[in-house]
């Protein structure tokens, strides 16, 4: 179960997710403190631990547009957030897969802040409203990378498994 903690509109850029002025900080262990830094209330609540791991942010179209900075994905991964959007910018989507961030593409999603969501197979169930929405799943190979925790753990697992044969 994931609680919706924030709802965004269209075209949320990587600069909104991880502002460029913090680009000198690139370690995944340090980037989360700057997540949505210009959304002061959201940033403070994230940093204070008010939101549980696995909480959801939901957006409309083109989430993660703009620059290709991978810190935008790693900063969200640092809070173990579920990110649901009608669609994602291409480079942000790949960066997110590479760091193991759980993204859900759900073109018809309808939620409000505070709604309780459940992922059930190929649907997002809004437990608050009783509505369900179809998910566009990642291709199997990309989902395997996310499930492994990102591209590095996935590659490590492939290499380890290949040496056992």
DSSP codes of every residue in 29-92: TTGGGGTTTTSHHHHHHHHHT-SPTT-EEEE-S-BTBS---THHHHHHHTTT-EEEES-B-HHH
CATH number belonging to the domain at 2-138, selected among 3.40.50.450, 1.10.760.10, 3.20.19.10, 3.40.50.970: 3.20.19.10
Express each pLDDT in 71-99 by its tens digit. Answer: 999 999 999 999 999 999 999 999 999 99
The pLDDT score that the predictor gives to residue 67 is 87
Q: In the chain, where are the structural domains located?
A: 2-138
User: pTM for this structure?
Assistant: 0.91
Can you give the pLDDT at residue 108? 98
Distance of alpha carbon 142 from alpha carbon 98, whole angstroms? 9
Q: How confident is the model at residue 163 (pLDDT cuts 50, 70, 90)?
A: confident
pLDDT digits (tens, 9 = 90+) for 22-70: 988 878 888 999 999 999 999 999 999 999 989 999 999 999 999 888 8
Is-contact 58 8, C-beta < 8 A?
Answer: yes
Output the pLDDT for position 164: 80
The pLDDT value given to residue 165 = 67
The residue assigned the tokens 């995944």 is 28
Angle at 6 between CA 85 and CA 74, to 5 degrees: 65
3-state SS class at 25: coil
């Amino acid at each position: 179960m994931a609680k919706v903690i924030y709802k965004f509109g269209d075209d949320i850029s990587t600069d909104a997710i991880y502002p460029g002025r913090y680009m000198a900080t690139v370690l995944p262990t340090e980037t989360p403190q700057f997540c949505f830094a210009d959304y002061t209330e959201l940033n403070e609540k994230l940093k204070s631990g008010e939101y549980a791991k696995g909480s959801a942010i939901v957006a409309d179209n083109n989430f993660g547009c703009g620059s290709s900075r991978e810190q935008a994905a790693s900063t969200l991964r640092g809070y173990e957030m579920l990110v649901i959007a009608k669609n994602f910018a291409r480079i942000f989507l790949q960066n997110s897969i590479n760091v193991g961030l759980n993204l859900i593409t759900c073109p018809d999603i309808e939620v409000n802040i505070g709604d309780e969501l459940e992922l059930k197979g190929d649907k997002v169930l809004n437990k608050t409203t009783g509505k369900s929405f179809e998910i566009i799943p990642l291709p199997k190979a990309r989902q395997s990378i996310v499930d492994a925790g990102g591209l590095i753990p996935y590659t490590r697992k492939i290499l380890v498994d290949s040496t056992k044969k």
